[in-house]
Amino acid sequence: MINVLMFGPPGSGKGTQSVTLAEKYNLLHLSTGDMLRAEIAAGTELGQRMEAIMSSGELVPDEVVIEMIAHRIDTTTGKAGFIFDGFPRTVAQAEELQTMLQERNMKIDLMLVLEVNDAELMDRMKKRALVSGRADDADESIINNRIAVYRSKTEPVLEFGHKAGVVSIVDGVGSIDDIFARLCTHIERVI
Ligand code: AMP
């Protein structure tokens, strides 16, 4: 089993690239953002509790996403591994994931870090806002808050990855195909 973390700021292309990487390498794509939006769409009690937090651009509590991820890991069969998209987003989540994987005789094999400058991120998020229908894409101040939350709470996870010796930095600017090819070379190193 290989476990890949897709890491980078909002708008860096994690979701887009994770979907095609998951297909190519038979990995299960685990996006905590997608799982949470599905809870909201289904009108569950959890979804209702998380909706306001998500639409402000803040992070939901660590326990909520950790529980979702643990459940998916334990109920998946027939896959070559997992690609985690938008998780872990705090150092506590990263530590918990590492423990969870170790308990199941697995590890974090690779952390792919998509690097995209702020001007390009803003540009992409504004374009995505026109089509995504996401409340947290619709307003520039919420987008700015998501980037600020990324810098303060999520970026420290990079240090965790460096300590674990699993970080690969990838230039996230260019055509989708070129970025995909760059990511594949790193995955093929750990397979
Ligand atoms: P995303 O689709 O990954 O951009 O996530 C959308 C929103 O869902 C985030 O702004 C958070 O409010 C919430 N969220 C998604 N993943 C996590 C996570 N790992 N930890 C905390 N909150 C999350």
The full DSSP string for 55-96 is: HHTPPPPHHHHHHHHHHHHHH--S-SEEEEES---SHHHHHH
20 exposed, middle or buried (CB, 10 Å; 0-12, 13-18, 19+)?
Answer: middle
pLDDT digits (tens, 9 = 90+) for 78-122: 999 999 999 999 999 999 999 999 999 999 999 999 999 988 998
Report which protein residue has its CA nearest ligand 1's atom 12. 54
Q: Report the C-alpha gap between 102 and 25 in whole angstroms.
A: 22
Report pLDDT for 138: 85
Q: Sign of torsion, CA 92 105 7 67?
A: negative
- Closest ligand 1 atom, residue 85 Cα: 3
Cα–Cα nearest to 95, from 148, 156, 22: 156
Cα–Cα nearest to 20, from 188, 179, 191: 179
Q: Which of 54, 66, 82, 144 to mutate to test the pocket of ligand 1 (most atoms within 8 A of CB)?
A: 54
Question: What's the gap in Å between 65 CA and the centre of ligand 1?
Answer: 9
Query: Domains (ranges, CATH) in the chain?
Result: 2-190 (3.40.50.300)
Pocket of ligand 1 (CB under 6 A): 10, 32-33, 36, 53-54, 57-60, 65, 86-87, 89, 93, 136, 146
Per-residue pLDDT in tens (0 to 9) along the chain, 191 residues: 999 999 999 999 999 999 999 999 999 999 999 999 999 999 999 999 999 999 999 999 999 999 999 999 999 999 999 999 999 999 999 999 999 999 999 999 999 999 999 889 988 998 999 999 888 988 889 999 999 999 999 999 999 999 999 999 999 999 999 999 999 999 999 99
Report pLDDT for 154: 98
- Closest ligand 1 atom, residue 54 Cα: 12
Report pLDDT for 64: 98
User: What are the Cα distances from residue 86, in Å, to 35, 45, 64, 105?
Assistant: 11, 22, 14, 23
Q: Report the C-alpha gap between 159 and 129 in whole angstroms.
A: 31
CA 5 from chain centre, in angstroms, equals 7
Q: Report the C-alpha gap between 179 and 172 in whole angstroms.
A: 6
